[in-house]
Structure 1
Amino acid sequence: MKKRMIIIIVWLVTMATLGIGIPVVSASDTEVMGSQPNKGVIEIQDTGSEELQAVPLHGEWEFYWNQRLEPKDFANHSWTPAYITVPSSWENDPSDEPAHSGHGFGTYRLILHVPASDLGRNKSLFIQSIGSAYRLWIDGEERPGLGIVGSSLEEEQPQSHINLVFFQPKREKLELIIQVSNYSFREGGINREIVYGDTDALIPRILKKLLYDIFIIGGFLMIGLYHLIVCGMRKRDFSTLFVSLVSLAVSMRTLFINGYLSKELLGIESWEALTRLEYMSEIFGFIALVFLMKSLYPREVHKVMMRFAMILSVGLVLFILLTPARVYTESMLLQGALKGAVLLYFIIYVGIKAYLCKREGALIHLAALFLIVCALVNDTLYYLRMVNTVELLSYSIVPFIMAQAVIVSYRYIRLSRRNDTLLEELEAVNLSLEQKVAERTQSLQEANERRTKVLANIAHDLGTPLVGIQTCLQLMIKGKLSNNNNKMTEQLLDKTIYMKRLVDDLFELSKLESHNMDFKFEKVDVRLWFEELFGKFEADLENEGMSLNKQIADSLVGTKSCFVRIDKYRMLQVLQNFMDNAVKFSKGISGVIDLRGSIRLSEGGASYEFVLEVADYGKGIAKEDQAQVFNRFYRSRENNETGSGLGLAIVKEIVRQHQGEVGVRSGQDAGSVFYFILPAASDEA
């Protein structure tokens, strides 16, 4: 129901718009103040009113087919007239006389009785259209006609536009004689009304018609140019281009129809040229309208119909270019029917389908296009004299252009809202980016500080033994040290070994951190691996005078086997570092080291973990130092002066690349527990 109401409202608004522009003729203008007792005679009575007169000379005029008669012919000879209704085409005359061919010539005659008050006053005849050439006499005196009347196509020179003939009645009985020929148009004769009246009353009527046409021409020209500029700015929006072309076509068609404006503005007087341009502009607007619908609803328009519309347009253009006006104007009804059928396809099929698919502006386009088709049918029938209405095509384009404006406005509003949303998102991204940049900058600064410290540590650790070696060598050169000094040689060798170990550790750590270290992973049973490690380190510790205890707890797994994927050589390197530290920092305090292993569920409970711990009972690590022990060059613990400070950093990288983690638990004078955790899986996983 709501959708129907929308269509009804659009229709009423359009009708109201049409009503504004249609010239309204008052009853006082159109009322013939008199009677017509005889055919061929019109009597205008004097009402005594000072109101300006404008009286249409409607009625039955004398008509002489195939005769070119002048006033002297009627004075010297008595003719038997036929009668024809004015205005009408002589081939479609509604009177009782037989119809005539559309092409030919003849003479109209009317006896006009005017009131005595009109004598000597400025009067005029307003002639809208007589096809396609005529001569005019008023009371025996020839007045300006249009074109050259001929008895054949070769003799005739057609011309058609409005004409205002000025004269002053000298007697109450006036004789109007009009010679007419038509060999160039589809219909002939006086096919538009002739109005008699005061010049001051007729001039405003003519100006009103001219101003209306100028308004249509200028208005649609501006609309067309505006959309053309918009298309130039938004090159991908082809719909605005076709809206522009439709508007320009309406503007040019109105200009070509009005022969007077065409003559004054374009300097074109040829009726044949103007008629050809008028029909061409209609086809131009038709194909622009078709392409507009294609650009708006490409999925709904079938390719076959587009080809048919293009072929029809090209065919009509060639037909108009290659045939004279009297031929192609005869097919006006057929041309209108073909174009109307194509446009009906866009209404019934494309429009409804687009509406059902909820395309943007489909309902508005459907209603506007329906009005255009109705106006096209009306104008075709109007020009064929089959209906007594007014031209509506120019009016029907107005709601169509308004519909485009509404849709474009909606698009801009939607685009504006989208831009606002994007702007808000961009501001949020910028804020987040600023935070990330600040965080990254801080991270880079910290990394740079760490790199600086690392370089300083490397320089210090390499510089100290180098200074010692340099000093020994200088003393030997000066002869203050003997070459056979074994103690000095051992010191030089120790410093060289320390430097090599430092360089090797740095190289290994850099390969680990850059993921250039090759690992040979294999599936290893946890129990077997634990026993293997215990056997190796138990013997090593006995040589140091210390004992190794083992503890393994796997109650959570029970009897199931559990496996880890490791590089045994690299993990042995990890355990070796833990054991070396445990021995180094518990000597003289405790002679016992524990090796503990356990299998447990991960935090999520979905998998297993293997935990291996090395516990000593030495001095332990202060709480504030525990977070630093896995950093490079950490050597703040007592008895660690000879270490490179890279061992635990290497351990951390090896375990990390096994998808595990390392850690330490310790207390001052309470010993330390270094451990790592590796992901594990049971044999049932």
Structure 2
Amino acid sequence: MSRLGNLLSIVFLIAVFVECSQATLIAKEKNVSEAMIDLSGWEVSEGIVNLNGVWDLYWNQLVAPEQINGLQEKPLKVHVPSVWRSANTEKQPLSNMGYGTYRLRMILPADEPSQPLALYVGGVATSYRLWINGELHAVNGAVGTSLQTMVPYNLPKVITFVPQPGSNELVMQVSNFVQRKGGIWEPVRLGSTEQIRAEQLFSFASEVFIIGCLIVMGLYHLGLYVGRRKELSALYFGGLCLAVAVRTSVLGEAVLLNLFPSLSWEWAVKLEYGSIFVGMHMLTIFVYKEYLDMKGLMVKISAVIHSSLILLILLAPARIYTHLMLPYQLLVIAPVLTVLLIIFLRTALKRKIDSIINMVGFIFFSTAIIADILFYNHLIPYGDFAPYGLLILLFSQSIHLSLKFSHTAEKAERLSVELIVANETLEQKIKERTIELRRSNEELSRINDQLFRNEQFRRQLLSSISHELGTPLTAIRALSSAVADGLVEQDYKKYAKRIYERTELLERLINDLVELTKLETELTSFQFQKVDITSFFHHLYSCYEMDMLERAAQFTWESPTYKELKEKGTAFASMDIHRMEQVIVNILSNAKKFIPDEGIIEMKVELCEHDLGTAEAVVSITNNGPLVPENELEAIFERFYRSKESKHAIKGSGLGLSICKEIVRSHQGSIAAKNIPCIGFCIYFTIPVWFEREEGMENDEHFAGGR
């Protein structure tokens, strides 16, 4: 009991020390006179920045942007991110229950053209409205001046806007009457739309990957219990995995709220807290069952405490039970983790390799839980490590199970040897050992059945993992790269490197999907310039001629005749030369794939004039490969199109022609395909052009009429 008291005293002193450190940091910011962040020297290419610092706060006032400048009352200076109780840098701490209006001025570069930026707004307790430069951009829940008038909701959002050169103003109304913390308690992040969305996608994919792994492992252990009811430790460990999966789904990027937007904030918090209580109890009884094979006093106390807490969160609102978290962490989690760690240490002293591995896994898990406790009490800037700690614990448990199965196999082999020896003994001992041999056969049969069931479960697990890892593959490369670079000090490097190599092919598909999506949503920027059509496409023909001749027997070029150019003038178009080169490369690559041996590819540019003085250039690429069915000519420009007659073609992502379609569309043109009888298959596109006559062009015949 004295050791437990000493541990609690140490935890309390650490908490007081960190709180004092934060108070000192806030005190240093009292002299800040204006809520402003100077980003005039910041460039988007430098990456995402946090809007941390001192903001204005009009406490107990919900002020619209157009009303702020007319207020005579001076605002409070508060530190962001932080909860209201610890945010005030001027006076005594504020209450975490209340409402107010934040204001911040951002100074962006004034000499650069405005490009779309994005804000990532995560933890704001517990409802808000956000204006940027006087325009309402985001709403989470309903802001109110009392518990009855506000509607809580907390879903991370990416907010895109076009900034003004120089000064930009953020105004956020925040209210909280429903939980223990209020205010902006996580950093507001600023960056380009691509950077912010990529970061959110990575975080979301990581959480989906973690949740999927935890659910699969949880169901796997529950399956072990269903197959063998005596394996209670599998039931408890499966419950722990599912509890952490539920908690992860409502934190961070709030995967569950994205899947079920109608889920209320109150029930999301109940799931968050309930999963903590269920998970801690499952961890306690799992350790006692697996390593002590008994129910100690702590298990009974844990059952009473956690049952009472679960009943409380089901019956009480969040504004009541959320205040119990800090006492729960100090009086329950800290003692329980200490006792469980002692149990692991005592087991590891037996110097069994599986016991040592389990101890290491539990240390990682305990460290992750402690880090999360510090994060949600605003003592460290990063958190949500519990799922990763649990994955490490899962890995150690898988090794434990593998060694356990190995011991079972050794036992089966030993019984087989004993059976052979028994059969070779003297005849006078046969009658005496008949009963023993029968028992040995029964035990051997039971072990074989158990091994067969375990193998079936293992195969089902691998199949499930292969299916579930489809969505979060975007996160694998970053994770495996970190392991391969030696950032993880365990012996995972060789496995991570294999994963990294096998994901490179998938990455190309993902990059094509990202590029196509950007083109379809008009997020891609084009650098248009005036281009001589004939010269430009002849230049591309020359650049890729050798590449085409690696497979084609002929690669020909045809353009308007010198006479035609002399009559009409030089044809110009407004083009992004790099994007247009991408179109030509994709179509040539497609043509190269489908030609037969000794195939022919022709690249042709034609100029067509229409009524009302309009004109266009028609660029076509034809090969003598197989024709495409007429009913599929439009479908070839769709995503992942694959003709039934193109099985012999080299495999690709199926996105090249879709990307071409979007690039041509962005140039105010069109793209299509046609079959030319007795010649082959042709893909052509059009772009608008205009004609200009220049002196001396009669001497320039370099690009005209070539074949």
Q: TM-score range by the shorter chain?
A: 0.5 to 0.7
Give, in whole Å, the separation in 1 of the partners of 2:122 and 2:404: 45
Q: Is 1:261 paired with 2:255?
A: yes
Deviation for aligned residue 1:129? 1.4
Deviation for aligned residue 1:338? 3.0
Deviations 1:594-630 (A, max 9, x none): xxxxxxxxxxxxxxxxxxxxxxxxxxxxxxxxxxxxx
Cross-structure match for 1:15? none
Deviation for aligned residue 1:118? 5.5
Give, in whole Å, the separation in 1 of the partners of 2:376 and 2:58: 25
Deviation for aligned residue 1:412? 0.9
Deviation for aligned residue 1:71? 1.3
Cross-structure match for 1:129? 123
Q: Is 1:313 paired with 2:306?
A: yes
Cross-structure match for 1:217? 211
- Asked if the contact 2:107–2:167 (Cα under 8 Å) also holds between the matched residues in 1, the reply is yes
Change (3 A) 1:147 1:259: farther
- Asked if the contact 2:111–2:165 (Cα under 8 Å) also holds between the matched residues in 1, the reply is no
Give, in whole Å, the separation in 2 of the partners of 1:322 and 1:187: 20
Give, in whole Å, the separation in 2 of the partners of 1:191 and 1:360: 43
- Asked if the contact 1:119–1:170 (Cα under 8 Å) also holds between the matched residues in 2, the reply is no
Q: TM-score, normalised by structure 1?
A: 0.55
**Equivalent position amino acid for 2:37 in 1:** I
- Asked if the contact 2:119–2:190 (Cα under 8 Å) also holds between the matched residues in 1, the reply is yes
Change (3 A) 1:285 1:123: same
Cross-structure match for 1:403? 396
Give, in whole Å, the separation in 2 of the partners of 1:353 and 1:411: 19
Instruction: Identify the match of residue 289 of structure 1 among 283, 286, 289.
Output: 283
Segment drifting more, 386-395 vs 416-425: 386-395
Q: TM-score, normalised by structure 2?
A: 0.53
What is the aligned-residue identity percentage?
28
Alignment gaps of 5+ in structure 1: 1-35, 438-685
Deviation for aligned residue 1:291? 1.5
Instruction: Identify the match of residue 317 of structure 2 among 320, 324, 337.
Output: 324
Give, in whole Å, the separation in 2 of the partners of 1:163 and 1:434: 82
Change (3 A) 1:92 1:287: same
- Asked if the contact 1:62–1:110 (Cα under 8 Å) also holds between the matched residues in 2, the reply is yes
Q: Is 1:43 paired with 2:43?
A: no
Report the secondary structure of 1:61's partner residue: strand
- Asked if the contact 1:150–1:157 (Cα under 8 Å) also holds between the matched residues in 2, the reply is yes
Q: Is 1:378 paired with 2:360?
A: no
Deviation for aligned residue 1:63? 0.8
Deviation for aligned residue 1:116? 2.8
Report the secondary structure of 2:158's partner residue: strand
Cross-structure match for 1:184? 178
Report the secondary structure of 2:86's partner residue: coil
**Equivalent position amino acid for 1:392 in 2:** F
Deviations 1:195-232 (A, max 9, x none): 12211111111111111111110111111122222222
Change (3 A) 1:204 1:381: same
Alignment gaps of 5+ in structure 2: 1-30, 431-707
Deviations 1:155-183 (A, max 9, x none): 11000021111111234211111000011
Change (3 A) 1:360 1:238: farther
Q: Is 1:155 paired with 2:149?
A: yes
Q: Is 1:423 paired with 2:416?
A: yes
Q: Is 1:194 paired with 2:188?
A: yes
Give, in whole Å, the separation in 2 of the partners of 1:37 and 1:378: 31
**Equivalent position amino acid for 1:310 in 2:** A
**Equivalent position amino acid for 1:224 in 2:** G
Structure 1 or 2, whichever has the larger Rg, is: 1
Segment drifting more, 367-376 vs 352-361: 352-361
Give, in whole Å, the separation in 1 of the partners of 2:289 and 2:353: 12
Q: Is 1:166 paired with 2:166?
A: no
- Asked if the contact 2:358–2:400 (Cα under 8 Å) also holds between the matched residues in 1, the reply is no
Give, in whole Å, the separation in 1 of the partners of 2:229 and 2:311: 31
Change (3 A) 1:239 1:360: farther
Deviation for aligned residue 1:360? 8.6
Cross-structure match for 1:89? 83
Report the secondary structure of 2:230's partner residue: coil
**Equivalent position amino acid for 1:81 in 2:** P
Deviation for aligned residue 1:271? 1.0
Change (3 A) 1:389 1:261: closer
Deviation for aligned residue 1:425? 2.6
Give, in whole Å, the separation in 2 of the partners of 1:328 and 1:150: 22
Change (3 A) 1:122 1:420: same
Counting only pairs closer than 5 Å after superposition, residues 477-488 of structure 1 correspond to structure 2 as none
- Asked if the contact 1:89–1:188 (Cα under 8 Å) also holds between the matched residues in 2, the reply is yes
Give, in whole Å, the separation in 1 of the partners of 2:366 and 2:44: 45
CA RMSD of the aligned region, Å?
A: 2.7
Cross-structure match for 1:249? 243
Cross-structure match for 1:583? none
Give, in whole Å, the separation in 1 of the partners of 2:259 and 2:298: 38
Report the secondary structure of 1:153's partner residue: coil
- Asked if the contact 2:59–2:75 (Cα under 8 Å) also holds between the matched residues in 1, the reply is no
Deviations 1:481-527 (A, max 9, x none): xxxxxxxxxxxxxxxxxxxxxxxxxxxxxxxxxxxxxxxxxxxxxxx
Report the secondary structure of 2:170's partner residue: strand
Cross-structure match for 1:346? 339
**Equivalent position amino acid for 1:396 in 2:** G
Deviation for aligned residue 1:75? 4.1
Deviation for aligned residue 1:377? 2.6
Q: Is 1:278 paired with 2:272?
A: yes
Give, in whole Å, the separation in 2 of the partners of 1:235 and 1:269: 35
Counting only pairs closer than 5 Å after superposition, residues 242-641 of structure 1 correspond to structure 2 as 242-258=236-252, 260-298=254-292, 303-344=296-337, 346-347=339-340, 349-355=342-348, 361-430=354-423
Instruction: Identify the match of residue 112 of structure 1 among 96, 106, 109.
Output: 106
- Asked if the contact 1:40–1:60 (Cα under 8 Å) also holds between the matched residues in 2, the reply is yes
- Asked if the contact 1:184–1:325 (Cα under 8 Å) also holds between the matched residues in 2, the reply is yes
Change (3 A) 1:391 1:336: same
Report the secondary structure of 1:91's partner residue: helix
Give, in whole Å, the separation in 2 of the partners of 1:279 and 1:153: 21
- Asked if the contact 1:347–1:366 (Cα under 8 Å) also holds between the matched residues in 2, the reply is no
- Asked if the contact 2:76–2:90 (Cα under 8 Å) also holds between the matched residues in 1, the reply is no
Change (3 A) 1:433 1:360: farther
Report the secondary structure of 2:288's partner residue: helix
